[in-house]
Chain A
Amino acid sequence: MKRYDLMVVGAGPSGLSAAIEAAKRGLKVAVFDENAKPGGQLFKQIHKFFGSKEHKAKIRGINIGKALLREADEAGVEVFLNATVTGMFLEKEITVRQEDGMHHYKGDSIIVATGAAENMVPFEGWTLPGVIGAGAAQTMMNLYGIKPGDRILMLGSGNVGLVVSFQLLQAGCEIAAIVDAAPKVGGYGVHASKVARCGVPFYLGHTITKAEGTDKVTGVTIHAVDDHFNPVAGSEKHFDVDTICIAVGLSPMSQLLKMGGCAMEDNPKRGGQVPLIDDNGETSVEGIFAVGDVAGIEEASSAMIEGRMAGVCAAQYLGYCDAADKKAALEKLEEDLSSLREGMFAPQNKGKAITETDEGIPISESLLTRGYLDDKEVVAYPGFTHQMGVHPVIECTQNIPCNPCQDACPKHCIRIGKTITALPAVDSDATCVGCGMCVASCSGQAIFLVDESAEPDKAAITMPYEFLPLPEKGDMGMALSRSGEALCPAKVVLVKTSKAFDHTALLTMTVPAEMADRARFFRPDEKQKEVQ
C-alpha cells in the first residue's frame, strides 16, 4: 500500500488547484482521475470565462486548463490517469482501479473533487441514438473535432444549454430551437443573446414530448406546458432534427464521500446529495475535504478557488504551514470567491424572481422569455448611449460578476467601479478610439462599437465574430437584429484579427443609419457560404 500526505480524487479544475496549493507547501500529493487526460471539463470550455483578472476572466477555459496543468507540474503534483477511485474507507484509505488491477492507497488527508454528472429527463424515444447529453456534444466537437449532428434541438436554457448551443453553431451545426420547461431563460442573458442573434428561436415553457425515429432520431415534438409542467393538448410543434441535446442541470457525484462516512444532506440549492462542509470545504470527517461541483453545483472559476482553499487547509492540518500562512492565503481566496458569488445569479439568489437590477432598471422581460433584448428596452441601460463618432454600446443588462471590459479600454470609456457586478456604463466624456479591445474582451459578446455616421446615411457596427469562414472586406450579406431577424443588406468594411483578441474577430459592417440601434449580427450571403 502506497502512502501520501494528500490524495485528491479528480484532476479537474478544483482537484488540480487543491493539489497545487498543497504541493507548493511541501505535501506529497497524488491526484487520481478516471480519465486518460487531466483537466476535467476545462478542455471542452472554448468560451471566455467571466469574472475579474483574479478569476482569469476573458481567458478561454482550455487555456486556463493548460496553465493549471503547467502549475501542477511545476509544483510536483503526481497525477495518476486511467485511475478510478472505487472506494473510500475508514482511516483515509482508498481503492483505485488502475490498468494492472486494484490498488490500495492511504493518505493523511483526502480532497474529493469528483465533480458532477449530467441530469437527464426521460421522454418517449429518449433512448434513441441521436439523443445525447450536452456534455457529449462538447466532448465530440471540442475534444475530437466531430460534429454532433447537422440540425439539433437543445433542451435546457441554463448556461450549459446556451454555451453549448453557441459552440454547436461555431462547429457548423444548425440549432432548430432551444427549449426549456421553465418560463424564463435560466442562464446569463448575454449567453442567450449571442445565440438568439444568430437566429435561434427560444421556446420557454415548453418541453420535449417525443423523440421521433425508429433507429435514430429523425425529429422531435415539443409541447407547451401548464403551471404544473404538464403538456398542453393541441400546443404541439414539430422540428426535423437529427440530434437532441439535453442540458438540464448537473448532480454532484458524491457517493465516495457518503461511503467514506462524511455527513451528507439533500440540498436542492446545491444540486442534490452533498456533504456537509465548513467554509473551507472540510467535511464532518477531519482531514477530508470536498471541493468543486461535488460540494455544490457552481462553475469552474469558483471550483478552482474552493480547491485552493482546501489545499491550504490540508497543508495546515498536517503541519506543513502555520496558522498565519493559512489565514493570509485564505483571506485573499475568500475575497475572490465571495466576489464571484455576487449578483443576480449568485447561489443565494437561486429560485428568486429578480425584477430589477441593482441600479434600479427593470430586468428585460424579452431577454428572459425570448432570449434577446427588445430594441425599446435596451436604451434604458447605462452601456447604451448615442454619441458623435465611434463609441462602445454595451448590452450587458444583468448584474453578473464580470469586469474585463473596464480594464480593456485604454481610454477609460467604460466604468464598472469597485462592485464587480455593477452594470458597465459608457462615459460619454471619454474619447473612444475604436480599438475594439472592449469588444474582444467581453466574455458575453455584449459589446459593439457603433459609429452612427460613419458614412453619409450609413452607420458602422463592429461586433465580435467567432465563426468560419471569416467574412472579408467587401463581402455582402444581411444585417440581423437582436432576435436574428433579417433587417437589411449589410456590407463588411473591416475585419480585424489580433493575437490580443484571442480568436475573436472584430467584424465591422455598414448599414443604413436608421438601423444603427438595431443591427447586431452579420450573415454572409449564401454564395459566399458555399465556398467553405
Chain B
Amino acid sequence: MKRIRNHPILGEPEKGPKVTFTFDGKPMEGYQGEPIAMALKAAGVMIHRYTAKRHEPRGIFCAIGRCTDCVMVVNGVPNIRTCVTPLEEGMEVRTQDGVTALEVKA
C-alpha cells in the first residue's frame, strides 16, 4: 500500500473525489486534483517516459515541476509535467517515448 492512511502528525490525508483515468489504455483510479504523478505512484507505476536517444527509463525525480523527468503524454499533449498537473476524471495518460506516446501492444 503506497497511500498513507493515517499519519502521526498529519492525520488522514485530505483527498478530492475519486476519479478514473487511463494509463497506457488501462483504467486506473486516483483522486481529483492530486498530481497525476501521485496517482501513478500510488498505483505502482514507476516509469513515466523513455529518453529519445538511449531509450532509458525516467520517473519522478524532483516532484515540484523543476526537473521535467516525469513528463508524459496527457490527453494527447506531450511533455506534461505530471508532478504538478492535477488529475482529472477521464484523463488519458500515456508513457512518453522521446516526444511521442509509447506504442503499447494490446
Contacts and interface: CB of A to CB of B under 8 A. Distances in A.
Interface of A: 34-36, 46, 60, 62, 117-118, 127-133, 135-136, 139-142, 144-147, 170-172, 215-216, 466-468, 470, 503, 505
Task: Specify the main secondary structure of chain B where it touches its partner.
Answer: loop
Task: Specify the main secondary structure of chain A where it touches its partner.
Answer: loop
Given A127-B58, A128-B57, A139-B64, 10 more contacts: A129-B57, A129-B60, A135-B63, A136-B63, A140-B60, A144-B13, A145-B4, A147-B1, A171-B4, A468-B7
In order of increasing CB-CB distance, the 6 nearest A-B pairs are A129-B59, A145-B13, A136-B63, A129-B46, A139-B63, A216-B46
Interface string B14-57: 01000000000000000000110010011000111000000011
A117 B69 CA distance: 15
Given A146-B41, A146-B42, A136 B10 contact: no
Nearest to A466: B8
Contact of A144 (B6, B35, B66): B35
A72 B3 CA distance: 33
Given A145-B4, A503-B8, A131 B61 contact: yes
5 contacts: A35-B64, A129-B47, A144-B34, A145-B4, A145-B15
Given A127-B58, A129-B46, A215-B46, A140 B8 contact: no
B84 A36 contact: yes
Contacts of B59: 128-130, 216
B77 interface: no
B46 A130 contact: yes
B63 A467 contact: no
A127 B56 CA distance: 8
B98 interface: no
Interface of B: 1-4, 6-10, 13, 15, 34-35, 38, 41-42, 46-48, 56-66, 69, 83-84, 86
Contacts of A470: 8
A97 to B, nearest CB: 12
Contacts of B38: 140, 144, 146
B64 A146 contact: no
Given A129-B46, A147-B4, A142 B63 contact: no
Contacts of B35: 144
B58 to A, nearest CB: 6
A468 B11 CA distance: 10
Given A140-B38, A144-B34, A215-B57, A468 B47 contact: no
A132 B64 CA distance: 11
A216 B57 contact: yes
Contacts of A140: 38, 41, 60, 63
A46 B56 contact: no
